[in-house]
């Protein structure tokens, strides 16, 4: 019988560390809910010592998400381990994950300590974590560039100190599959107490080998894989959840493993993470890219009609890609919209449906057919603009031309419900709109990225604008969708400002609550 591989998802920790990801606390909670639905075994919810807001968010996740194990990351220092303990105090299944650099390169240039001192620190830290939680994971960071004999000694000591999972990270994505498999195999033959722990792997994708390395590891004894949805994460990202899970499922004949993942939730999870992080998915991305199940060449199409197995090794339905039988339009009623949204995996409440339906009819008046991608954009837009205590964009008007001075007027309601109107000129209509908004929402920030994409083909397509702003040393994403590019841009800016303000307010309230 196929043996189960534990899926440890670190989208909310390593994934959130990606440059520019910047998730708000309620987005993290929503992703955690979706990860629970997806059936991951472990959710690494954050790095509590990194900020009071991070600690509070992990706490909040543990209070609501009860099925998976919730892990919190900590460096091998007492303060970090205590912060992880505090964050996990209400968890149904807590895990403290301690890590320390082990390679000579890191010890010399980063930690500036000797291997023996570092080993003592690791042992003391695992022992400290063990006082707070039975479930302790230990990671020697940069393991793939560490002397193998030293890894064996360190891993043995960590298990003796109480570690129940030993994670072997390929921190810089340096390993290649055969070599990595050898390392994992050698851990089993050279660490005498290894049967007291689960061996895990955490592969980065700098050479595009993260998924292949993870699979090689399970063929050599690892039983936990650490992954991120859409493969996000530090630099080139982590092993991608959907790739690893679907490889295990599709090649069960060869590999002989299974996971507890409900693969029909993959598409939905991928969209949610992409939507919240603002990281769009490349069309040819395995499993979740737009083209992953599209067949363009005539020969392929012909064969697919005769027998899908000719060019399809897994079905789109198996990863939750909705069938494309229904295209909505002006004549479609509320029931058709509700049905399609539910087929797409959206649970929209009755109250929200009133607004989404109005937005849908507005769009259907402008566009001949409303596709799934349009519907996804509509629901995302609704989710972004209906949070409490935020600035709401009520009206945008912009004038541009050549020759002309681009001018814009905006009306915005503040969190107290007070309306403000402002007009400004700029180098173009978007700049004018941003200047006008900045006169009302006076929070210091710098625009670092502005990107427009068409949601669908055709001139009547909705524009999906993604921006990133920097404020207080952090990057915040903002998104907006509309058939009018200037309106979409204005929405994206207000969305980003709302996130920046929410994080600021949350940090202040967490500090107030803790009496610091």
315 by Cβ neighbours in 10 Å (0-12 / 13-18 / 19+) ranks as exposed
What is the C-alpha separation between 385 and 379, in angstroms, rounded? 10
Under the binding rule (CB under 6 A), the answer on residue 171 touching ligand KIV is: yes
What is the C-alpha separation between 11 and 203, in angstroms, rounded? 13
From 141, 228, 441, 497, residue interacting with ligand KIV (rule: CB under 6 A): 141
Number of residues that bind ligand KIV (CB under 6 A): 9
By beta-carbon proximity to ligand KIV, the closer residue of 226 and 470 is 226
Tell me, what DSSP letter sits at residue 199?
A: E
By beta-carbon proximity to ligand KIV, the closer residue of 142 and 374 is 142
What is the C-alpha separation between 510 and 52, in angstroms, rounded? 6
Under the binding rule (CB under 6 A), the answer on residue 495 touching ligand KIV is: no
Under the binding rule (CB under 5 A), the answer on residue 27 touching Zn ion is: no
Site string for ligand KIV, 88-127 (x = CB under 6 A): -----------x----------------------------
Q: CA torsion angle for 76, 79, 81, 86 (degrees, to 10)?
A: -170
By beta-carbon proximity to Zn ion, the closer residue of 60 and 171 is 171
**Which residues are within 8 A (CB) of 227 and not within 5 positions of it... i.e. 6 or more apart?**
7, 8, 9, 10, 214, 238, 239, 240, 241, 244, 245
Using CB under 6 A, which residues numbered 255 to 284 contact ligand KIV? none
Under the binding rule (CB under 6 A), the answer on residue 285 touching ligand KIV is: no
Site string for ligand KIV, 186-205 (x = CB under 6 A): ----------------x-x-
From 14, 275, 372, 381, residue interacting with ligand KIV (rule: CB under 6 A): 14
Q: CA nearest 69: which of 167, 16, 166, 135?
A: 135
By beta-carbon proximity to ligand KIV, the closer residue of 94 and 173 is 173
Question: Least distance from C-beta 101 to ligand KIV, angstroms?
Answer: 9
By beta-carbon proximity to ligand KIV, the closer residue of 171 and 220 is 171
| 228 close to 217: Cβ distance less than 8 angstroms | no
Stretch that binds ligand KIV, among 166-174, 274-282, 290-298, 400-408 (CB under 6 A): 166-174
- List own/partner pairs for 105-109 with CB under 8 A and 24 or more apart: 105/142, 105/145, 106/141, 106/142
By beta-carbon proximity to ligand KIV, the closer residue of 10 and 380 is 10
Under the binding rule (CB under 5 A), the answer on residue 170 touching Zn ion is: no
Which partner, ligand KIV, Zn ion, none, binds residue 139 by CB below 5 to 8 Å per kind? Answer: ligand KIV
Stretch that binds ligand KIV, among 53-61, 103-111, 165-173, 341-349 (CB under 6 A): 165-173
**Helix axis angle, 485-513 relative to 429-440, nearest 10°?**
30
What is the C-alpha separation between 111 and 199, in angstroms, rounded? 25
Stretch that binds Zn ion, among 9-17, 275-283, 335-343, 408-416 (CB under 5 A): 9-17
How many CA within 13 A on the CB side of residue 27?
A: 25
The three-point CA angle 121-17-235 to 5° equals: 100
Under the binding rule (CB under 5 A), the answer on residue 495 touching Zn ion is: no
From 6, 8, 13, 14, residue interacting with Zn ion (rule: CB under 5 A): 14
Question: Least distance from C-beta 26 to Zn ion, angstroms?
Answer: 25
Under the binding rule (CB under 5 A), the answer on residue 44 touching Zn ion is: no
Question: Least distance from C-beta 155 to Zn ion, angstroms?
Answer: 18
Q: CA nearest 239: which of 222, 221, 220, 225?
A: 225
Longest dimension (CA), the chain: 79
Using CB under 6 A, which residues numbered 389 to 408 contact ligand KIV? none
Under the binding rule (CB under 5 A), the answer on residue 374 touching Zn ion is: no
Q: CA nearest 187: which of 213, 211, 217, 214?
A: 217
Which residues of this protein are in contact with Zn ion, per CB under 5 A? 14
Q: Which residues contact ligand KIV (rule: CB under 6 A)? A: 14, 99, 139, 141, 167, 169, 171, 202, 204
């Amino acid at each position: 019988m196929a043996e189960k591989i534990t899926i440890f998802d670190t989208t909310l920790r390593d994934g959130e560390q990606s440059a520019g990801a910047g998730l708000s606390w309620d987005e993290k909670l929503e992703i955690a809910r979706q990860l629970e639905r997806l059936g991951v075994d472990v959710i690494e919810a954050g790095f509590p010592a990194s900020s009071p807001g991070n600690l509070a968010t992990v706490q909040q996740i543990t209070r609501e998400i009860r099925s998976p194990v919730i892990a919190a990351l900590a460096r091998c220092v007492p303060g970090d381990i205590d912060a992880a303990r505090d964050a996990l105090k209400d968890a149904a299944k807590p895990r403290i994950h301690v890590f320390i650099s082990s390679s000579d390169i890191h010890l010399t240039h980063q930690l500036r300590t000797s291997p023996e001192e570092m080993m003592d620190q690791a042992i003391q830290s695992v022992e400290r974590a063990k006082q707070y939680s039975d479930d302790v994971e230990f990671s020697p960071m940069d393991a793939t560039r560490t002397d193998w004999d030293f890894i064996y000694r360190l891993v043995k000591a960590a298990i003796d100190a109480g570690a129940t999972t030993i994670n072997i990270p390929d921190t810089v994505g340096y390993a290649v599959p055969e070599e990595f498999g050898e390392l994992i195999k050698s851990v089993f033959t050279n660490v005498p107490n290894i049967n007291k722990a689960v061996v895990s792997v955490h592969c980065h994708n700098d050479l595009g080998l993260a998924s292949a390395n993870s699979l090689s590891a399970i063929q050599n004894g690892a039983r936990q894989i650490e992954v991120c949805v859409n493969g996000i994460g530090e630099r080139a990202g982590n092993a991608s959840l959907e790739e690893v899970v679907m490889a295990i499922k599709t090649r069960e004949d060869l590999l002989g493993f299974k996971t507890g993942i409900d693969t029909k939730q993959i598409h939905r999870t991928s969209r949610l993470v992409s939507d919240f992080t603002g990281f769009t998915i490349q069309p040819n991305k395995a499993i979740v890219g737009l083209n992953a199940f599209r067949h363009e060449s005539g020969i392929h199409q012909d064969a697919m009609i005769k027998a899908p197995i000719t060019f399809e090794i897994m079905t789109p339905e198996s990863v939750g890609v909705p069938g494309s039988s229904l295209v909505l339009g002006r004549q479609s009623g509320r029931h058709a919209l509700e049905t399609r949204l539910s087929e797409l995996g959206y649970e929209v409440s009755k109250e929200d449906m009133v607004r989404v339906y109005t937005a849908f009819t507005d769009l259907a008046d402008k566009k001949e057919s409303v596709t799934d991608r349009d519907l996804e954009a509509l629901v995302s837009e609704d989710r972004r603009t209906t949070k409490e205590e935020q600035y709401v964009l009520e009206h945008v008007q912009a004038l541009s031309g050549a020759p002309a001075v681009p001018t814009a007027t905006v009306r915005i309601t503040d969190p107290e419900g007070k309306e403000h109107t402002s007009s400004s000129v700029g180098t173009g209509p978007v700049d004018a709109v941003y200047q006008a908004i900045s006169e009302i929402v006076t929070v210091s920030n710098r625009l670092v990225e502005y990107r427009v994409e068409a949601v669908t083909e055709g001139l009547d397509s909705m524009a999906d604008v993604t921006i990133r702003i920097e404020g207080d040393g952090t990057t915040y994403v903002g998104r907006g969708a509309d058939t009018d590019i200037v309106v979409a841009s204005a929405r994206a800016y207000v969305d980003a400002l709302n996130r920046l303000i929410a994080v600021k307010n949350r940090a202040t309230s967490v500090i107030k609550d803790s009496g610091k």
